[in-house]
Amino acid sequence: MANMVSFDRLSEEEKHARFMERIAAGEKIEADDWMPEEYRVALIKLISMHGISEIMGALPEKEWVPKAPTLRRKLGIMAKVQDEMGHGQLLLRVAEDLMKPYGKNREDIMQDLFSGDLKFHNVFHMPAPTWGDAGLIGWLVDGAAIITQTNMLHASYGPYARALQRICAEEVFHAQHGEAIIMALTEGTQEQRAMVQDAFNRWWESLLMFFGPAQASTTGSSKQDVTIKYNIRTKTNEELRQDFFSKYIPRALSIGLQLPDSTMHFDEESKMWVYQQPDWNKFKQIIKNNGPKSKERLRLRQLSYHNNEWVREALSPMNKVV
């Protein structure tokens, strides 16, 4: 208690210095702890975007839930999509706690999504027209997610780090589920193999974009500097992208896939993959909800929000008489 009182007496700068000492020492920050505004804002942005991306990410896969070609595959993809909604739920709760001092809640998150203020991940704006896409999403999109998320497993913000522990454990199953679909297809008929290559080509650019631009200057803004400064993550966008290449390029080649970028190679000297940049202007457009499926998927969520208005009304505290 004495400690608390003395902490309250500190100036903002002193509080900030204490805070930086704590995270430098590897201590976890909890929801009710003092934190710099910049830290809170960065976390809200990062976690609500992560949470809403999990939820929007269920939509391209949802398409394939009924269409999955066997009973086992139906069960597998149902389990995966359910997990993703669960991740969304978990993360939005973490974000909601952070938003409390601003008097904001879930309702605001949804409104921000609809207005375009809250963005969701670039990959979930893209079409998934074949069963090959369903497999590829699990294998490589979840694979990419594992790479960015394990990078934040030791995030200085405790509630986020703990949510990520659970999420990453499940993501491993998702990647296995995706890989199993891809394996079955590559070992299958010519038509099935073509499905995989086709999906791989289609997702290539989105996968490069997944990790974000290397420098803030590319798109005019990047939260990577702030998140590194506050020990929320450790690696840069480019380091993560390189990790992804090192893990998946050899695997893709070993199952007989052709790289959509014929110039791509590993440079022994710099120990870096050399590849052609995606169109970052296109990336900017996509995350501004101008991607090929952005409007359609937002429309799905808006429709359900609207159709279920009476349910929310019925469940509002005013009606809690039952």
Q: What are phi and psi of 265, to 5 degrees?
A: -160, 165
Stretch that binds other proteins, among 25-33, 141-149, 155-163, 186-194 (CB under 8 A): 186-194
Largest CA distance in the chain: 73
The DSSP-derived string for 217-244 is HHHS--SHHHHHHTTS--S-HHHHHHHH
Measured from the CB atom, the residue of 127 and 250 that comes closer to other proteins is 127
**94: contact with other proteins by CB under 8 A:** no
Considering only residues 52, 53, 76, 84, which one is a binding residue for Fe ion as defined by CB under 5 A? 84
Instruction: Give DSSP secondary structure letters for 104-172.
Output: --HHHHHHHHHHTSS---GGGGS---SHHHHHHIIIIIHHHHHHHHHTTTT-SBHHHHHHHHHHHHHHH
Q: How near is the Cβ of 57 to Fe ion at its closest, in Å?
A: 7
- Answer for which of 188, 250, 256, 292 binds other proteins (CB under 8 A) is 188
The phi, psi pair for 308, rounded to 5°, reads -100, 15
85: contact with other proteins by CB under 8 A: yes
User: Tokens representing 229?
Assistant: 């400064």
Cα 143 to Cα 140, 150, 172, 243: the distances in Å are: 4, 11, 8, 11
Does residue 105 touch other proteins according to CB under 8 A? Answer: no
Per CB under 8 A, 43 contacts other proteins: no
The binder of other proteins chosen from 15, 104, 282, 301 (CB under 8 A): 301
Kindly tell me which of 23 and 81 has the beta carbon lying closer to other proteins. 81
Please work out the total of residues on this chain that contact other proteins, with binding judged by CB under 8 A. 51
Instruction: Select 87 or 241, whichever has its Cβ closest to other proteins.
Output: 87
Does 121 participate in binding Fe ion (rule CB under 5 A)? no
Counting contacts by CB under 8 A, is residue 168 touching other proteins?
A: no
Q: Which residue number, 58 or 257, has a Cβ lying nearer to other proteins?
A: 58
Subset of 33-62 contacting Fe ion (CB under 5 A): 54
- The DSSP-derived string for 233-279 is --S-HHHHHHHHHHHHHHHHHHTTPPPS-TT-EEETTTTEEE-PPP-
Q: Which does 184 bind (CB under 5 to 8 A by kind): other proteins, Fe ion, none?
A: other proteins
Residues 132-191 that bind Fe ion (CB under 5 A): 142, 171, 174
Residues 6 or more apart whose Cβ sits within 8 Å of residue 108 = 99
Contacting other proteins (CB under 8 A), which of 36, 45, 86, 282? 86
Residue 72 binding other proteins, by CB under 8 A: yes
Q: Cα separation of 137 and 85, whole Å?
A: 16
Q: If contact means CB under 5 to 8 A according to the sort of partner, which of Fe ion, other proteins, none does residue 257 touch?
A: none
Nearer to other proteins, 44 or 55 (CB): 55
Residue with tokens 């505290």: 317
CA distance 89 to 85: 6
What residues line the site for other proteins (CB under 8 A)?
55, 58-59, 62-63, 65-75, 78-79, 81-82, 85-86, 88-89, 92, 131, 181, 184-185, 187-189, 191-192, 296, 299-301, 303-304, 307-308, 310-315, 319, 321-322
What residues line the site for Fe ion (CB under 5 A)?
54, 84, 87, 142, 171, 174
